[in-house]
Amino acid sequence: MKYKGLICAMITPLDENQNINPKATCELIDYLINKGVSGLFILGTNGECHVLTDDEKVEFAKIVVKHTNNRVPVFVGTGGNSTREVINLSKRMEEIGASALSIITPYFVPPTQNELIAHYKAIAESVNLPIMMYNMPGKTGINIEPESVRELAKVKNIVGIKDSSGKLDNMKAYLEVTKGEDFSVFSGSDSLILDILKAGGHGAVAATANFLAGIDIAIYDNFIKGDLEAAQKAQNSIEELRRILKLGTIPSVIKKAVVLNGIDVGPARFPVTQPTGEVLEEIKKVVENYKKEFNKDL
């Protein structure tokens, strides 16, 4: 089965003491599923995977899997630098009922393409869950090259890739080398949702959906219906949110937007701090403008 649609790169709600907040997590899950997302992608970049312990990741995944209750697939991030540690965490996530795994490339010391292929193959052999690779060269220092994707797409349970390179040509190359495979290519760059769909891609994993789920889904739905004008209008309308996301360290701004929209997902984990001053005022203004213009479409 090919995965497709608009999947939310879900934030991780925390309380005032920086601990996982189960209540807000469940509220956010219900909000996103009721809006119509095709899946939940947890413990990614905007999910603060890099500042959570493995035990916290398992704790959070248990909450999400249980509350989602098979309404949509739950993609759980288990990536890391050590193949052994990724395998151990992936097995734990399989035990608690994750639908699929999301595995970012190793980072800090970027491996060669051959090492990367061996890394993903070893993980795939250790679990039965579907695996979506996660390419984010701007943060990891390594790009999963198309020829590597060609080889890895032949592995039975490696079923797709989220590409956050921001390069449409890179995604098009992934589509080209995986023709005929049961393999999905998703944009991880929210600015390219419509572009990847036009190129033959299968959807997007979007962080903006935490606040603009209805608008992001409208990009996909209108494209599928053949209404490219409406799809483009929806694509253009997320740019104002994307602009202010750059005003703070990930994921402080998107978290504040969600809080202002009525779900108390709390702050980011330290050392990232909450927006204040002029930045906070700008976020408030943009959120209010979205509410006035789109209201129930958010």
Q: Which residues are catalytic?
A: 134, 162
- Length reported for the chain: 298
Q: Is 151 exposed, middle or buried (0-12, 13-18, 19+ CB in 10 A)?
A: middle
Nearest Cα residue to 137 out of 125, 145, 128? 145
Instruction: Identify the DSSP state of 170.
Output: H
Cα 4 to Cα 200: distance, rounded to the nearest angstrom: 11
Cα 102 to Cα 120: distance, rounded to the nearest angstrom: 11
* HSE (side-chain half, CA atoms, 13 Å) at 51: 17
Nearest Cα residue to 208 out of 14, 16, 8? 8
Cα 277 to Cα 83: distance, rounded to the nearest angstrom: 43
Amino acid found at 197: L
CB of 153 closer than 8 Å to CB of 201: no
**Residue 127, phi-psi category: left (phi > 0), alpha (psi -120 to 50), beta (remainder):** beta
